[in-house]
Structure 1
Amino acid sequence: MFEPQFFTLTSLYFLALLSPGQDFFLIVKHALAHGYRKAWWSCLGIASGNAFYIALAYIGHEFLSTYPTLLRFVETGGAIFLGYLGCLLLFAPAPALDRKTRPNVTIAFKLFVQGVLSALLNPKNILFYFSLLFTIIKPETSLHVKIFYAVWMTAMLLAWDMSVAVLFAHAKQSRFFAYLHTLQKIIGAVLIAFSVWHLYRDFVAFTIG
């Protein structure tokens, strides 16, 4: 189960979690406004939305695995998209926190729904999962291993988001934002490097085959 693809998947996914996106800022806003315990409901909603997209990516991967040529094109497209995300992160301006919060968002269910919608309404999420799974997970990987990967990624996401909520539960913790821009660039460079490596591997396999 703990094959090289597992460690590659875990490493890239964790780097992606470190990158501040709209889910990240939603959690921070809720943590600052309502405390980390209520913000955890947002974390649970975000994890639920991402779990749904992971399931969709798996279904697509399973279907396309019966069409090797088409799967290769999709894998190449996925690698290109990861490189595109890397460029966005590498050249993005320094992230800023919008401290505005809705004063009526005080119920746990509303925070949960906001988390779900934040995950589902971000088109980059589904594209990211398709790109990540199609470029790393081999078609012959057994179903129980794929399920383990899905549960593992969802658990990583939930644990990280809950940690972010605790970390930023107090306004003074906002000093950590000073380091996000540098971290953003490092993650972008890693994604670009992985994309280039994968495209080179595909090119070599295509020329030899």
Structure 2
Amino acid sequence: MRVVLAEDSMLLREGLVRLLEETGAEVVAAVGDGSALVAAVAEHRPDVAVVDVRMPPTFTDEGLRAALRIRREVAPGTAILVLSQYVEESYAGDLLADGGGVGYLLKDRVSRLDELSDALTRVAAGGTVLDSEVVSALFARRHRNDPLGALTPREREVLGLMAEGRRNSAIGRSLGLSAGTVEKHISAIFDKLALPPSSDDHRRVLAVLAWLRG
């Protein structure tokens, strides 16, 4: 897996390069700002761009804006794994609204090599990965009149794990449910959110987006 890394802190950038290489990834470029990130992706066409949210010059959302530009203009097939020091809900929503092959992790999770490797693999395969703390924060801000009001508590738990990018088997293990029961809950979620089968749309991603917008 070929990776471009964008992180403004030189020390953290070097540490992340080592961690990424330990997962088996090839870091083809490591840069310190959004403009350099866009240029590196255009040059190297990596499988995944690992991006810090806050970078020079304003240290607000330069990394996110660069990531969205990459997805929409420069290299649409590039998977994006965003790293952040804090839970920034609007950034997570903007990222997920751009489709699959995206992830959002808190930086304190990155030191866990197995989680980093799993996240890279899933976003590179077109999946969606959300840190559990991001999921909790997004659930907490939902309004009472959101479209998810019809979901049962168990269905909300299943949807939360879907938002973290978990497969059905992992959801079943986490909640102590059989594969068939997990499938029934997911089918009920799709029905309640009015997401019929479609060859054009990814219903799991649309379900997560419906929850975020709620």
TM-score above 0.5: no
More strand per residue: 1 or 2? 2
**Class of the TM-score when normalised by the shorter of the 2 chains:** under 0.3
Q: Normalization by structure 1: what TM-score?
A: 0.22
Bigger relative CO (Cα 8 Å, ≥ 6 apart): 1
Q: Normalization by structure 2: what TM-score?
A: 0.22
Which has more radius of gyration?
Answer: 1
